Structure 1
Amino acid sequence: MDNCDGRGKSSWPELVGVKGEVAARVIKKENPLVVEVRILHENSYVIPYLKCNRVWVLVDDKGIVKEIPRLG
């Protein structure tokens, strides 16, 4: 996301396949500017507006991260 440049780490491809709760802790640790990490089911509707201090962690029915978490 170009509009979130300069705000620390912005994506976490290495977290695909891990538990959502673990991913949320890693994201908060690696980028202290992130104040909102939401764990949502991969089929959930998300609000389509950019927020550079938010990360959505999309998980499957077993709580496993299915998509790369990104700022926005």
Structure 2
Amino acid sequence: MANFRPREDDRKLVRVEGRDDIGEFIDRGHNVGTLQGIYCVGVHFPKDGLCAYYASDRVTYVVADGTPTSA
């Protein structure tokens, strides 16, 4: 499985509204809803192992120390 993990410097780190820890961006996302008006992205949180989809407007790309950056 380690062969499928991106190199440390290739990972996209994100913060999600409502969580204190930094997660890894894992999936570019899906449209949700009948009008497909909600775009969601997949995020993995290594701290507790949670993988979940979040509305893209709740996700902020960050660098390793948590400082926001442009995607």
More helix by share: 1
More strand by share: 2
Name the structure, 1 or 2, with higher relative contact order (CA <8 Å, separation 6+): 1
Q: Which has the larger radius of gyration?
A: 2
TM-score bracket relative to the smaller structure: under 0.3
Normalised by the length of structure 1, the TM-score is: 0.27
Normalised by the length of structure 2, the TM-score is: 0.28
